[in-house]
Structure 1
Amino acid sequence: MSILEVNGLKKVYSTRFGGNKVEALKKVSFSVEEGEYVAIMGESGSGKTTLLNILAALDKPTGGMVKLDGWDFSRIKESAVAAFRRDNLGFVFQDFNLLDTFSLEDNIYLPLVLAGKHYAEMSQRLAPIAVQLGITEILKKYPYEVSGGQKQRAAVARALITNPRLILADEPTGALDSNATEELLRLFGEINQNGQTILMVTHSVKAASHAGRVMFIKDGEVFHQIYRGNSTDEQLYQKISDTLTALASKKFQGGEGR
């Protein structure tokens, strides 16, 4: 069953004085099945960040439609957008977006505090997540007291604690060293195997090679897709690398690969 449907999505930006228009997205259409793990790749300026912002309900498209669980984003009242985002979407950012004046625990609790949940419920929700992510012993620490990998795991916990329908990850390994990257990708795999739907924007071939499907955005369009099928991470890594090389050479004919 499709949890996310994107149909004919367009986004046009006007320059400051309205003289020129930039078409960031051109009729982008795709769907994401419940429990899928999808990576989106593309060169800078390809439109993937614009796409992510629209999927996060942080920006509005010029045309087309986005539906999450059948909810049409265009029909959500402006006053209800923040609550919709908080209740349905989990976010993991490259720079963690943690508040230094809050402990890791309080950072993780923040979306539930905003939703008016009681401490007992928040604590009950966090306990198993903290165990899975290996952060139970550092919950009382502040972001400046822990490593980048630990900060990102706290950010993942914050994304998971609302039981979101979809996790949106923006370059989640971008600020991590190789060991922390390995650990985060392993955890993402576990989280996905437990049924969580993940959509990740990344420049990292290594990160993308852990997904079940890789979509390539070029010039504002979905240009090509690769499905994992029976491929190992290493085999998918090679397929992604070959595709990026072909895209860069401008000799590639888009489509779907298995």
Structure 2
Amino acid sequence: MSVLEVRGLKKVYTTRFGGSRVQALSDVSFSVDQGEYVAIMGESGSGKTTLLNILAALDKPSGGTVLLGGRDLSGISEREIAAFRRDNLGFVFQDFNLLDTFSLQDNIFLPLVLAGKRYGEMARRLQPLAAQLGIAGILHKYPYEVSGGQKQRAAVCRALITSPQLVLADEPTGALDSRAADSLLDLFGQINRAGQTILMVTHSTKAASHAGRVLFIKDGQVFHQLYRGENTSRQMFEKISDTLTVIATGGDRRD
């Protein structure tokens, strides 16, 4: 069953006075099934950030459709979109996006507070997640009091606490040292094996090698995709590296 369906997605940006047009996405189509872990890769300017913004309902396409849980995002009113995003999408950002004036617990609770949930329900949801993510003992601390890896675990907890249909991760290891990045990638694997659908945009070959499928975006289109199958993370790393070399050297599109 598809959680996300992207069909013929196009995005054209026009300069302020209409002097030029930039085609960020030209014809992107793919789907993400329930329980999949998909990574999206591409060079700077390939269109992957534009794609992520459209999938997050932060931007609207010039053409094509995005269906999340069968619902067309373009049909959701501006009044409803914030609540829809909060209830159906979880976000993990490179820079954590935690509020320094809130404790980790209050940062995690924020989407539930905005949804009008009672404290008892919020606490019941938090307890097992905090234990799984290894942050139960630091929930009272503030973001400036903990490490980057701990901040990102809190951000992951915040993304998961609403039980979203899809977690969107934007360069989640980008601000972490190698040890914290490895720990986070292991954690993403555990979360995915528990049934959470994850879509991650990354420049990191290592991060992408942990996914079950990797989509490569080039010139606003899906250039190629790799499936993990029986490959190890090391084998995926090598396949991803080879594909990125083809992209960088101007190789032909693969189907």
TM interval, short-chain normalised: over 0.9
TM-score, normalization by structure 1: 0.98
Question: Which position in structure 2 is the counterpart of 1:67?
Answer: 67
Is 1:162 the counterpart of 2:166 in the alignment? no
Scaled by the length of structure 2, the TM-score of the pair is 0.99
Secondary structure of 1:229's aligned partner: coil
- What are the superposed Cα offsets for residues 156-193 of structure 1, whole Å, 9 maximum, x if unpaired? 00000000000000000000000000100000000000
Query: Structure 2: how far apart are the matches of 1:252 and 1:232?
Result: 26
Aligned to 1:55: 55
1:243 aligned partner: 243
In the other structure, the counterpart of 1:189 is: 189
Structure 1 residues 244-253 or 162-171, which shifts more?
244-253
Percent of aligned positions that are identical:
75
Between 1:71-80 and 1:165-174, the stretch displaced more is 71-80
Measure, in 2, the Cα distance between the counterparts of 1:222 and 1:79: 32
Shift of residue 252, structure 1, vs aligned partner:
3.9
Partner in structure 1 of residue 42 of structure 2:
42
Q: For 1:58, what is the secondary structure of its paired residue? A: coil
2:14 counterpart of 1:11: no
Q: How many residues align?
A: 255
Distance 1:145 1:253 in 2: 47
Task: Give matches, 1:1-258, under 5 Å.
Answer: 1-255=1-255
- The answer for unaligned runs of 5 or more in structure 2 is none
Runs (4 or more) in structure 1 with deviation over 2 Å come to none
* Equivalent residue letter for 1:162: T
Q: In structure 1, what is the Cα distance between the partners aligned to 2:242 and 2:221?
A: 19
Q: Distance in 1 between matches of 2:30 and 2:213?
A: 12
Q: Distance in 2 between matches of 1:58 and 1:105?
A: 26
**Partner SS for 1:155:** helix
- Aligned partner of residue 90 in structure 2, secondary structure: strand
How far off is 1:246 after superposition? 1.4
Q: 1:253, CA displacement in angstroms?
A: 3.8
Q: How far is 1:123 from its partner?
A: 0.4
1:212 Cα deviation after fit = 0.2
SS of 1:8 mapped into structure 2: strand
Q: Find the residue that maps to 1:175 and give its secondary structure.
A: coil
What amino acid is aligned across from residue 125 of structure 1 in structure 2?
Answer: R
